[in-house]
């Protein structure tokens, strides 16, 4: 990895893996692909076009788009010419995009579908110098400031190639590679400056622990604007593997079965939904099927734990596994493609029972922990060293300590350069070289870290109890009939919750039970539905202390969204916004 700079390294990998498949993506006619050589040619054309458009080293280039291979092309083209890519979440509103464009002083912006382009058109009068390039060739564009991607890269690269290589060679490891704006649950987002050194630390941390090489397949479905998917995608290309781009995350299950990835990164919600669907199906299964399933999981738990810990597998366990795996477990693995060696999970807490369940099926989930400001990995579990219910041990070349109020603090080569244009906010999170994460955590006796909550999210009841809302939301929110949940209780005498049902599942249940309704509002008002949720909450609260349990709840007819202000693009709850918007419902639960 030459000189630890992304652009030069990718140039090397394009030469090394030239004829191997680099990317695959869904087109109107089905799956299409590009080799490393073809991918590299497109990067060179785009890098040439950016230079022709006047983009200089250290200029900021925006990417406001859902996942697609052109996203990666644009990112890599920036690294080739020393420019700094600035992702904008595809779900961001026009005003959110405006803030980032202005704060980062973006010169040229790449957009995706009509939603992103129309948002830019709305704010364009306030951004007279902004140039726009649209990935979507079907859109009708305003030629005064916008052009299609295909037109933009229709260029002869020969005159620009010497300058591209000269610029790539001039990039230093400590230079800013990208500015990623944290979505922030309060206030304006902050632009995290990550360097080439930062991300190469991540490669060194992951590479020895996870078997991944040429021929492997990753499914890229988390937003590339998220640091987790972004840095993993760099790793995919550095290893000569194949990255598969999924524009619509709602198609994840079908795509897993089509693509059959060998490894991928994800957030807990995917596995919570799969687990909930399996458990719900089991509730109505015949006694014979239930017994067979339970025996398969019990035997799989012994078999795969011994397998991963390199312990001898008893003859009887091995024999049972061959039968039960074929009848039960292999079918669960097939639901996620059938070829996955491991999943890497981060972004939120995953319930321990779900981790254990998937391992019993032969699917290892390695949960980790980090933030945008740490590139992102601070701690992680590995295939040969994992402990469920934790986020693993600290990454190499990284120190982690527990500070005041149980705060997790980190010092290491993955810690950001700082917040762009915001030295005051940078100083607030740094303490003599230590980055203050704002998360509460603790180490167990063997050095595995467990995250318990965010400091600012902790609920302190009127009785003085400190309650971690994320624990409640993780345990209760994994249910088949729950899409989103926010627990309430600050300065109150008991815990309540706002719950968004999984309407697809609830509607099926209502039809099966002969319950008629005219709308979501009508459905959630039915006594039978309220009784269902009372039962589900109680069922999932067995591991909570009495003072942590939900005493009252309200069902909501609409999902929390970025557009309506209740969540961030990374799906974190904006608790202040939720409390304000639903104050009337909250007050009813305490009246």
**Secondary structure string (H, E, C) spanning 353-422:** HHHHHHHHCCCEEEEEEECHHHCCEEEECECCECCCCCCCEECCCEEEEECHHHEEEEEECCCCCEECCC
- Percent of the chain at pLDDT above 90? 90
Specify the residue for token string 């010419």.
81
**Partners of 579 in the beta sheet?**
none
From the list 565, 554, 566, the residue with the least C-alpha distance to 495 is 554
Q: What is the CATH number of domain 458-590?
A: 3.30.300.30
Contact 375, 198 (CB under 8 A): yes
Give how far the C-alpha of residue 153 lies from the chain's centroid of Cα atoms, to the nearest Å: 30
Chain-wide mean pLDDT for the chain?
Answer: 95
- Summarize pLDDT for 196-209 with one digit per residue, the tens: 999 999 999 999 99
Q: Is the pLDDT of residue 463 over 90?
A: no
Q: Is the pLDDT of residue 3 over 80?
A: no
Domain with CATH 3.40.50.980 in the chain: 2-171
* Cα 243 from Cα 238, distance rounded (Å): 11
Give mean pLDDT, residues 74-87. Answer: 98
Give mean pLDDT, residues 510-530. Answer: 97
Domain with CATH 3.30.300.30 in the chain: 458-590
pLDDT of residue 186: 63
From the list 377, 359, 358, the residue with the least C-alpha distance to 368 is 377
* Cα 282 from Cα 504, distance rounded (Å): 18
Q: What is the CATH number of domain 2-171?
A: 3.40.50.980
Give mean pLDDT, residues 255-279. Answer: 94
Which band of pLDDT confidence, cut at 50, 70 and 90, is reported for residue 172? very high
- Summarize pLDDT for 274-285 with one digit per residue, the tens: 999 999 999 889
pLDDT of residue 185: 59
Question: Residues of 567-584 as b/e, b for ≥16 C-beta within 10 angstroms?
Answer: bbbbbbbbbebbeebbee
């Amino acid at each position: 990895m030459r000189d630890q700079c992304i652009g030069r390294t990718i140039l090397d990998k394009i030469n090394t893996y030239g004829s191997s498949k680099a990317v695959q993506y869904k087109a109107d006619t089905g799956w299409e692909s590009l080799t490393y050589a073809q991918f590299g040619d497109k990067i060179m054309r785009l890098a040439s076009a950016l230079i022709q458009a006047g983009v200089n080293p250290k200029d900021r280039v925006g990417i406001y788009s859902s996942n697609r291979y052109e996203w990666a092309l644009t990112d890599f083209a920036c690294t080739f010419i020393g420019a700094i890519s600035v992702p904008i979440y595809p779900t961001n509103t026009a005003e959110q995009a405006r803030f980032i464009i202005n704060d980062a002083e973006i010169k040229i912006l790449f957009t995706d579908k009509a939603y992103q382009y129309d948002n830019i058109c709305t704010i364009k009068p306030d951004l007279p110098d902004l140039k726009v390039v649209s990935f979507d060739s079907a859109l009708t564009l305003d030629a005064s400031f916008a052009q299609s991607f295909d037109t933009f890269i229709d260029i002869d690269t020969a005159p620009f190639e010497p300058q591209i290589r000269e610029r790539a060679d001039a990039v230093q490891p400590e230079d800013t590679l990208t500015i990623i704006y944290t979505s922030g649950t309060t206030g304006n987002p902050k632009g995290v400056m990550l360097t080439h050194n930062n991300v190469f630390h991540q490669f060194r941390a992951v590479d020895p622990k996870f078997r991944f090489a040429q021929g492997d397949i990753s499914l890229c479905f988390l937003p590339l604007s998220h640091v987790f998917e972004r840095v993993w995608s760099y790793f995919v290309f550095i290893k000569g593997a194949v990255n598969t781009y999924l524009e619509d995350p709602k198609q994840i299950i079908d795509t897993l079965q089509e693509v059959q990835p060998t490894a991928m990164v994800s957030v807990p919600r995917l596995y919570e939904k799969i687990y909930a669907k399996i458990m719900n199906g089991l509730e109505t299964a015949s006694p014979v099927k239930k017994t067979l399933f339970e025996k398969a999981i019990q035997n799989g738990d012994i078999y795969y734990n011994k397998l991963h810990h390199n312990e001898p597998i008893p003859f009887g366990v091995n024999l049972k596994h061959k039968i039960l795996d074929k009848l039960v477990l292999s079918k669960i693995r097939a639901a996620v493609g059938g070829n996955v060696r491991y999943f890497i999970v981060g972004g939120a807490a995953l319930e321990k029972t779900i981790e254990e369940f998937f391992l019993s099926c032969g699917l290892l989930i390695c949960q980790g922990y980090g933030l945008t400001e740490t590139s992102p990995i601070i701690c992680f579990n590995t295939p040969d060293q994992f402990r469920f219910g934790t986020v693993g041990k600290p990454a190499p070349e990284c120190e982690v300590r527990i500070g005041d109020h149980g705060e997790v603090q980190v010092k290491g080569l993955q810690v950001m350069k700082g917040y762009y244009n915001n030295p005051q906010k940078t100083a607030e999170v740094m303490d003599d070289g230590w980055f203050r994460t704002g998360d509460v955590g603790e180490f167990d006796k063997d050095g595995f870290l467990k995250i318990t909550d965010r400091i600012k999210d902790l609920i302190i009841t009127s009785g003085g109890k400190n309650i971690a809302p994320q624990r409640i939301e993780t345990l209760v929110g994994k249910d088949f009939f729950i899409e989103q949940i926010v627990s309430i209780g600050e300065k109150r005498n008991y815990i309540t919750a706002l719950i968004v049902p999984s309407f697809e599942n609830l509607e099926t249940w209502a039809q099966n039970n002969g319950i008629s309704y005219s709308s979501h509002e009508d459905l959630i008002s039915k006594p039978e539905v309220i009784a269902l949720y009372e039962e589900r909450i109680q069922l999932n609260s067995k591991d909570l202390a009495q003072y942590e349990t939900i005493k009252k709840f309200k069902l909501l007819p609409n999902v929390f969204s970025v557009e309506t202000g209740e969540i961030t693009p990374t799906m974190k709850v904006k608790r202040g916004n939720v409390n304000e918007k639903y104050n009337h419902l909250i007050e009813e639960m305490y009246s």
